[in-house]
Amino acid sequence: MESTPSAPERAFHLFPRLPTELRLAVWRECLPHCVAELDTPMHNEVYGRKKPSPYDHMQTACMNEHRPLISLVCRDSRAIVLEAGSYVGERDDFPPECEWSSGNMLDEWLDPARDLPHLNHCLGYEAHYGTDGNPLLDLAWQAARARRGGSLRFEFLRSCYSEDLEVIKRL
């Protein structure tokens, strides 16, 4: 009877024995680069009335609001995740004038070095979701701290107020 060679083992059992600095550097490289959505998009704003829709943006936006999954792997990875980012609402330096609320608002995780804050909001959202405050101020504050800046939907520009244009110029 002929024996077949076994597949090479995929686990790297020596990882815990690496120097701490090297292990932490590996975990830093594992941090994802994400679009951190401040709010969920309205389905008909993305696809119109097309049924069935090709994609569920709501599900993706809700999954992306959480801290990176590598935080669940071990103590080292969790420390790196907590060092790199935070939930925006839990930051001590979040200015009160940037606070806003809406029925589709997310409590997003933001890693300023890797993530891109994005605002889906359009003026039609105010009536649909009961928006209170100006979400654009929140986006401007986050974009100023994020290495990659910030983004918003083009439709917002078509319907924004003149004072919003001044905020957009600062982005």
Structural domain contains residue 43:
yes
Inform me whether the pLDDT recorded for 42 exceeds 60.
yes
What pLDDT does 59 receive?
73
Cα–Cα distances in Å, from 123 out to 46, 47, 61, 149?
Answer: 14, 17, 19, 22
Question: Are 106 and 140 spatial neighbours (Cβ–Cβ below 8 Å)?
Answer: no
Q: Count of domains in the chain?
A: 1
d(C-alpha 166, C-alpha 19), whole Å: 50
Residues composing the chain: 171
pTM for the full predicted model: 0.77
Helix (H, G, I), strand (E, B) or coil at 110: strand
Sign of CA dihedral 69, 74, 77, 82: positive
Structural domain contains residue 52:
yes
Domain that holds residue 139: 33-66+86-170
The string of pLDDT tens digits covering residues 127-168 is 778 888 888 889 999 999 999 999 988 777 776 666 676 776
Structural domain contains residue 144:
yes
In this prediction, residues 23-41 reach a mean pLDDT of: 93
Inform me whether the pLDDT recorded for 11 exceeds 80.
no
Structural domain contains residue 137:
yes
Structural domain contains residue 113:
yes
Please name the residues in contact with 18: beta carbons below 8 A apart, sequence gap of 6 or more.
26
Percent helix, percent strand, percent coil in the chain, to nearest 5? 45, 10, 45
In this prediction, residues 36-64 reach a mean pLDDT of: 72
What pLDDT does 131 receive?
80
Structural domain contains residue 157:
yes
